[in-house]
Amino acid sequence: MIGKVMRAARMHEKGKPLDIDEIDIPQIRPTEVLVRVRACGMVPNLQNVLDKWDEMAPDLPLPKMPAIFGLDVAGEVVRTGERVRDFKPGDRVYVNPLRVCGSCSACRNGHTLNCERMILNGYFGIKPESATLFEDYPYGGYAEYLPAPQESLVRIPENLDFPVAARLGYLGTAYRALKRGNAGPGKTVMINGITGTLGLGAVALSLALGVRQILGTARDESLFERVAQLAEPGRIQILKSGEEPADEWSQRVTGGRGVDIAVDALSPGAPPEPMKEAVKTLNRGGCLVNIGMVSQEVPLDVFWMMSNNISHIGSSWFSTEQGQEMADLVESGALDLSFFDNQAFPLEQINEAVGNTKNRSGGFTNIVITP
């Protein structure tokens, strides 16, 4: 039995702690479902969004105040609109927070990830024009219930727990990057920022996709052993950033085979040199996919890149179809996500959870809110 009201963590004023408010349970449209939120991911960047978004990205819209944040929701369907065909109450789902307008040229051509008004629900919009979509989708995941369009739903298997399923957003970003680089059997992948939230997801997904060898760079040596143990000895090799030029190192540890796909997953504030070096590790025809936060200009040898058919791609977020592929990889046992240290906080402790994102063991820590 669903009541009329729910608890939701809301921001009433920038820089102030979130309040737990009692508000009406949202109505759903005919093509939406109502999800009982069982876990919602806590992104390390949320503190920045709450405290200083207008300095970081003043043109990019946030949910309107009082704002409900919360990006990556996993839970159960409890109510369905009359035009929802394939889902029923009790279904376990991850909700892709990608919301698109449906009417811009990109949406109408089926390239929804290029929507002119795209938002990440419960987080931020990617252009000033995105503000209009926050009018349509004002609810985020730090609440007991969330309305979700049926096309955003990923069916999750019984062997994927809700807190881990709430990680599918980060994982999906890495997954799309690997798919765009054609990662698979026989390939070598190089990951900048291999111990971090995105980088570690790229490791797990590379293993699931049958990648032959995984190279990575990172600063924090204390996590190297733990990352290397995710595969059989020697399959994962890690270089401490700056210790040696990455192109020379990669040639040595791959026995001269080199790298086919580089994924840059560096955190905000990272310098441009590691990305420049990662490009230089690539074999002819190779590809660097950037999903990280390097925000300075990167000087690249574009003549060498042209001569060697090297591409450099930016990749933002992932499709619901790719979300389902990852869930299916977990179901079959190909994708092992058992390495996460899951830390669950009740909704009432959300402000502690926001502060706790500083005390993570790199990408191994998975902080979720369980409203």
* Residue ranges that bind Zn ion, judged by CB under 5 A: 100-101, 104, 107, 115
CA atoms within 13 A on the CB side of 15: 3
Nearer to Zn ion, 38 or 117 (CB): 117
Q: Which amino acid is at 302?
A: V
State which residue, 192 or 319, has the beta carbon closest to Zn ion. Answer: 319
125 versus 181: smaller Cβ distance to Zn ion: 125
Residues near 87 by Cβ (< 8 Å), separated by ≥ 6? 33, 77, 80, 93, 150, 153
What would you measure as the largest C-alpha separation in the chain, in angstroms? 65
CA angle centred on 331, ends 327 and 336, rounded to 5°: 85
Shortest Cβ distance from residue 125 to Zn ion (Å)?
12
Report the nearest approach of Zn ion to the CB of residue 104 (Å). 3
> Residue 334 Cβ, how far from Zn ion at the closest point, in Å?
33
Least spacing, CB of residue 151 vs Zn ion, in Å = 13
Closest-CA residue to 353 (of 331, 340, 339, 368): 368
**Sheet (strand 124-125) strand order:** 98-99, 119-120, 124-125
Is 78 or 104 the residue whose CB approaches Zn ion more closely? 104
SS3 content of the chain, % helix, strand, coil (to 5): 30, 25, 40
Q: Is the dihedral of CA 184, 188, 191, 192 positive or negative?
A: negative
In whole angstroms, how close is the CB of 242 to Zn ion at the nearest point? 42
Nearer to Zn ion, 100 or 191 (CB): 100
Please identify, using beta-carbon distances, which residue of 11 and 115 lies nearer to Zn ion: 115
Consecutive H or E run containing 132: helix 131-136
Query: Least distance (Å) from Zn ion to the CB of residue 132?
Result: 11
Q: Nearest distance from residue 98's CB to Zn ion, in Å?
A: 11
Choose between 103 and 332: whose C-beta lies nearer to Zn ion.
103
DSSP, res 82: T
Alpha helices in 187-317 (DSSP H): 197-208, 224-228, 246-253, 273-280, 302-307
Closer residue to Zn ion (CB): 117 or 312:
117
What's the closest the beta carbon of residue 107 comes to Zn ion, in angstroms?
A: 3
Nearer to Zn ion, 43 or 100 (CB): 100
Whole-angstrom distance, CA of residue 232 vs CA of residue 225? 12
Beta strand segments in the chain, E: 5-10, 19-24, 32-41, 73-80, 92-95, 98-99, 119-120, 124-125, 145-149, 153-155, 188-192, 213-218, 236-240, 259-264, 282-290, 311-314, 341-346, 365-370
SS3 182: coil
Residue among 107 and 171 whose Cβ is closer to Zn ion: 107
